[in-house]
């Protein structure tokens, strides 16, 4: 991976200043979400590109490996953040950014948030079992209260997802 410049941006020779700023914006965004920076680089470049880009275009322009580009595209496709685009006379697959916020939010919720909530629900169930095994009554009451709080948070989060999708789609 390229070294970061003092500003925190990834030095990429094949990008204009504006493209680089957009790429940096999306890199910061995906890192907050716990995703690799290359996912933000790819989405950012596709977002600011007039024309669809091929895998090789992304590798060349961003200075990332073919493996990183391929994995990043796979992640973005799973999220519904990129789509294949036809380029007349070209055999290679080309990609463009999906820019519909509702689609992006829906993909992120479907691929990232829902699975986390589902696994979290299973973990909360196991936590209740662990609390029941606690021998100290005072500790058990405290732990039971805290795990019940987690369960409430999980329930609220599941109820909020459809609302979040609707609000973001408006």
pLDDT digits (tens, 9 = 90+) for 79-133: 889 999 988 888 889 999 998 877 787 788 888 888 888 888 889 888 988 999 9
CA 26, CA 137: separation in Å to the nearest integer?
A: 49
DSSP secondary structure, 15-50, as one string:
S-HHHHHHHHHHHHHHHHTT--HHHHHHHHHHHH-S
Give the span between the Cα atoms of 33 and 108, in whole angstroms: 10
Closest CA to 97 of 54, 22, 47: 47
Q: Rounded to an integer, what distance in angstroms lies between the CA atom of residue 73 and that of residue 46?
A: 10
State the maximum Cα–Cα separation within the chain, in Å, rounded to a whole number: 73
Across the range 144-163, mean pLDDT stands at: 88
DSSP state of 110: I
Q: State pTM to two decimals.
A: 0.72
- How do the domains of the chain map onto residue ranges? 17-97, 101-169
3-class secondary structure, 115 = helix
- In this predicted model, what pLDDT tens digit does every residue of 19-78 receive, in sequence order? 999 999 999 999 988 899 999 999 999 999 999 999 999 999 999 999 999 999 999 998
Nearest 5°: CA angle at 63, between 93 and 27? 90
Find out whether 78 and 130 touch, Cβ atoms under 8 Å: no
- Position 1 pLDDT exceeds 50: no
Residue in this structure with the two tokens 């997802």, named with its chain if needed:
161
Question: Which listed CATH number (3.40.50.1820, 3.40.640.10, 1.10.10.10, 3.30.70.1230) goes with 17-97?
Answer: 1.10.10.10
């Amino acid at each position: 991976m390229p070294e970061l410049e003092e500003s925190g941006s990834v030095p990429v020779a094949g990008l204009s200043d504006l493209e680089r700023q957009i790429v940096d914006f999306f890199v910061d965004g995906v890192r907050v979400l716990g995703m690799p920076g290359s996912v933000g680089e790819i989405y950012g470049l596709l977002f600011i590109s007039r024309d669809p880009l091929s895998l090789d275009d992304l590798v060349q322009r961003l200075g990332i490996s073919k493996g990183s580009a391929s994995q990043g595209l796979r992640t973005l496709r799973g999220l519904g953040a990129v789509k294949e685009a036809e380029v007349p006379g070209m055999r290679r697959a080309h990609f463009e950014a999906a820019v519909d916020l509702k689609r992006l939010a829906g993909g992120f919720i479907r691929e990232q948030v829902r699975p986390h909530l589902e696994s979290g629900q299973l973990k909360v169930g196991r936590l209740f079992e662990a609390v029941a095994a606690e021998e100290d009554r005072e500790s058990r009451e405290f732990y039971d209260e805290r795990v019940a709080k987690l369960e409430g948070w999980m329930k609220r989060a599941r109820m909020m997802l459809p609302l979040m999708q609707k609000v973001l789609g408006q």
